[in-house]
């Protein structure tokens, strides 16, 4: 059976929404990352069989954004491309699908890219307003037109905020933050614990950049500045080296304003970014002179209660460990996505004693063990670096591979929770 290896990876800086990447839509971020990926591998784009893109906030002007990215990156027209969405795990989904393609022999070389521009999530007119406009345009007589016109209300013009809709679970009606509040209460996670965790994320990210540990995975993006010039962006924008616990503690809860503990400060940031991996069949990689960065040993997705979607990593990790016969303690580094500090801490507790998690999910899990914080999100997580939804999964794998290599370790776990009540987990290995 063919084996898939990851031979290269690169990401754009992750930049908080509305900042330097404000003018770069997902297709632009994506094509930048993909072409840089191919350039760094010195790979002729014609050798790419397929491109798979994980993306959540589908740009309205680029349906199947994967195809747009592939063509704009110079991948020939006869190659295929499709876009996948598993909400927050879209960046995993593109990678795991790419590996499956190679393993099944359907492709030799696949580009997996996760990308989202949260700056570009549009505002909508309410559907009722659109309906009225439609009626107006189809009205024949002057009387009909007048009647339709008279039905217009000022409130019709209040836009619906796309990003808010996107972050609300349509089945349960809860916002993502509400699910984190629920976990905070059920796992008795204090506000201070959450703020401490957030502070840690900022400090680790700042240290990682300070010590130049992330530069090798990040490309420079040249953006137009306001003065008509061009500015190189080579670093993530969003982490705060000077973050203090006091200022985190001062923030008002955002989702449950009166009784809650989840704030903007201890949640992930809204961010723009792209991350790409090059996945090639092992023998082909050797033939082309490409050195593997590592490989995906196995992966798993698992479903859970949508109102406790943050616990997804516990179930997914449990499944992937079962599949591989490995133990949580075999994981030398762990990247656990920080959607919310409360959610991440809940997962850590869930790993130790899944009883709480299981009570909610109605299933039984054996305890997976505890994760040494020294091995967790060692270069900071989404609270500091941000969470461009579709790109995060890919970034976790990329960062994990780079850090394992840097530390000369061989095995790690990347896992994240998925809005809607799922979890994803990927075990990576380095030869």
Partner 1 sequence: MTTSMADGGTTTTLLTDAVMWHSELCGGGILKVRIDRRDKSVNALSKGMLEELERLIAEIRRDAAVRGVMFLSGKPGSFIVGADVTEMKKMTGGAEATELSKLGRRVFELLETLHVPTVALISGACLGGGLEFAMSCRYRIADDHAKTLLGLPEVKLGLIPGWGGTVRLPKLVGLIEALPMILTGRMLSGRQARSKGLVHDLVPVEALPFVGEDLLRAVIKLGTASTFFKRPKRSLVARLTESIPPLRNYAFRKAEGKVRHETKGNYPAPLAAIDVLRAGFRQPLSIGFAAESAAIGRLADAPVTRECLRLFFLQEDAKKPVELADIATKPISNSAVLGAGAMGAGIALLMAQKGIWTRLKDIKPEFLAKGIATARKWVKSDVQRKKMTPLQASDTLDRLRPTTDFSGFKQTDLVIEAIVESLPIKQQVFRELAEATSPTTVLATNTSSLLVTEIADGIPHPERIVGLHFFNPPLQMPLVEVIRTDQTSPAALATAFALTQRLGKTAVIVKDCPGFLVNRLLAPYMNEAGWLLLEVSDPLEIDRAAVAFGLPMGPLELTDLVGLEVAQHVAANMHSAYGDRMLPAPLWAALKELAANDPKAAKSLLVGRGSKKKLNPAVRKAIDKVRQSGTYSVPGGTPTREELTQRMIFPIVNEAARCLAEGIVSKPEDIDLAMVFGTGFAPFRGGPMRYAESLGFAKIVEILEKLANGRPRLTPSDALKQL
Q: Provide the annotated active-site residues.
A: 88, 387, 417
Q: Is residue 39 within the footprint of partner 1 (CB under 8 A)?
A: yes
Smallest distance from partner 1 to CB 282, Å = 21
Q: Is residue 61 within the footprint of partner 1 (CB under 8 A)?
A: no
Q: What tokens does 185 get?
A: 């209460």
**Window 219-238: contact mask with partner 1 (x via CB under 8 A):** -x-x-x---xxxxx-x----
Smallest distance from partner 1 to CB 222, Å = 5
For residue 297, the SS3 value is strand
Strands 123-124 and 109-117: unpaired
- State how far the alpha carbon of 67 is from the alpha carbons of 10, 279, 299, 417, in Å: 19, 18, 26, 27
Q: Is residue 138 within the footprint of partner 1 (CB under 8 A)?
A: no
Q: Is residue 78 within the footprint of partner 1 (CB under 8 A)?
A: no
Smallest distance from partner 1 to CB 392, Å = 25
How many of the other CB atoms lie within 10 Å of CB of 62? 20
Q: Is residue 287 within the footprint of partner 1 (CB under 8 A)?
A: no
Q: Is residue 82 within the footprint of partner 1 (CB under 8 A)?
A: no
User: Which one among 43, 304, 316, 339 touches partner 1, defined by CB under 8 A?
Assistant: 43
Cβ proximity to partner 1, 215 vs 363, nearer residue:
215
Task: Name residue, tokens 């950049």.
Answer: 209
Q: What tokens does 355 get?
A: 């009883």
Nearest to 293 by CA among 85, 100, 95, 33: 95
Cβ proximity to partner 1, 229 vs 325, nearer residue:
229
Cβ neighbors of 243 (< 8 A, separation 6 or more) are 198, 199, 202, 203
Q: Is residue 308 within the footprint of partner 1 (CB under 8 A)?
A: no
**Cα gap 348→358, rounded to integer Å:** 14
Q: Is residue 11 within the footprint of partner 1 (CB under 8 A)?
A: no
Cβ proximity to partner 1, 26 vs 56, nearer residue:
26
Q: Is residue 35 within the footprint of partner 1 (CB under 8 A)?
A: yes
- State how far the alpha carbon of 229 is from the alpha carbons of 60, 119, 222, 226, 232, in Å: 29, 21, 10, 7, 10
Q: Is residue 36 within the footprint of partner 1 (CB under 8 A)?
A: yes
- Interface with partner 1 by CB under 8 A: which residues? 31, 35-36, 38-40, 42-44, 72-74, 220, 222, 224, 228-232, 234
């Amino acid at each position: 059976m063919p084996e898939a290896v990851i031979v290269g990876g690169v990401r754009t800086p992750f930049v908080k929404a509305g900042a330097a990447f404000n003018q770069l839509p997902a297709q632009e971020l994506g094509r930048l990352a993909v072409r840089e990926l191919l350039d760094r591998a010195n790979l002729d784009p014609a050798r790419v069989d397929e491109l798979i893109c994980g993306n959540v906030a589908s740009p309205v002007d680029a349906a199947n954004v994967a195809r747009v990215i592939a063509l704009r990156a110079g991948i020939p027209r006869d190659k295929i491309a499709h876009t996948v969405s598993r909400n927050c795990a879209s960046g995993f989904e593109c990678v795991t699908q790419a590996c499956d393609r190679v393993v099944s022999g359907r492709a030799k070389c696949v580009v997996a890219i996760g990308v989202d521009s949260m700056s570009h999530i549009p505002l909508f007119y309410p559907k009722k307003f659109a309906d009225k406009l439609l009626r107006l345009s189809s009205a024949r007589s002057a009387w009909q037109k007048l009647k339709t016109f008279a039905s217009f209300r000022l409130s019709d013009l209040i836009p619906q905020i796309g990003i808010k809709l996107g972050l609300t679970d349509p089945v349960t009606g809860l916002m993502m933050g509400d699910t984190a509040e629920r976990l905070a209460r059920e796992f008795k996670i204090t506000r201070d614990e959450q703020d401490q965790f957030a502070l840690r994320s900022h400090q680790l990210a700042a240290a990682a950049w300070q010590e130049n540990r992330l530069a090798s995975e990040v490309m420079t993006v040249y953006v137009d500045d306001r003065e008509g010039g061009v500015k190189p962006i080579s670093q993530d924008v969003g982490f705060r080296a000077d973050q203090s616990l006091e200022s985190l503690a001062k923030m008002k809860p955002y989702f449950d304003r009166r009784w809650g503990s989840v704030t903007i400060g201890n949640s992930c940031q809204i961010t723009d970014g792209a991350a790409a991996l090059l996945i090639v069949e092992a023998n082909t990689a050797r033939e082309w002179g490409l050195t593997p960065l590592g490989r995906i040993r196995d992966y798993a997705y698992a479903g859970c209660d949508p109102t406790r979607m943050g616990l997804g990593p516990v179930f997914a990790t449990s499944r992937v460990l079962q599949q591989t016969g490995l133990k949580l303690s075999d994981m030398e580094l762990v990247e656990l996505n920080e959607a919310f500090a409360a959610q991440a801490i809940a997962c850590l507790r869930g790993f130790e004693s899944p009883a709480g998690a299981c009570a909610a999910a109605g299933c039984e899990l054996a305890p997976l063990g505890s994760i040494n914080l020294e091995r967790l999100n060692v270069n900071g997580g989404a609270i500091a670096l941000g969470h461009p939804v579709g790109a995060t999964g890919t970034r976790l794998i990329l960062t994990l591979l780079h850090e394992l290599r840097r530390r000369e370790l061989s095995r790690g776990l990347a896992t994240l929770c998925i809005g809607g009540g799922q979890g994803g987990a990927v075990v990576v290995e380095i030869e």
